[in-house]
Amino acid sequence: MQPIAMPSKPTDASEPVYNVEIATAAKMIGCGRNKLFAVLKEYKILTKEGLPTQHMIRDGYFTTTHSSYELPGYGITRYHIKPIVTAKGLRLVEEIARNAGIIKTH
């Protein structure tokens, strides 16, 4: 495992701001969702539960969405947290995927 190289290009205010799910990010950079999850966990970007670490959220690379649903007939409420990659995080994810060799370099 190589050290994480943060993207050299800072976030520019003129860039569009968008957030995508990890599966969509994987499609955008040209690799599979499961491979990307495995690499991000290996590099300690995501926890073993698949959630971004607190410093990655704080630094603006990831965010999360929260939802809840009730199990019919049981009265039990379940909560779900989904990791979301920010525009800034997409560059980091792509660079990590390249370093790990799961996508081809240009």
Per-residue pLDDT, averaged over 80-85, amounts to 96
pLDDT at 106: 59
Give the pair of three-digit tokens for residue 19. Answer: 């957030």
Per-residue pLDDT, averaged over 29-53, amounts to 95
More confident residue, 81 or 8: 81
State the pairing for strand pair 62-71/76-86.
antiparallel
Per-residue pLDDT, averaged over 34-42, amounts to 96
CB of 86 closer than 8 Å to CB of 19? yes
The H or E element that residue 69 is part of is: strand 62-71
- In angstroms, the CA 99 to CA 66 distance is 31
Give me the residue spans of the domains in the chain. Answer: 19-100
Q: How many CA atoms lie within 13 A of 100 on its CB side?
A: 19
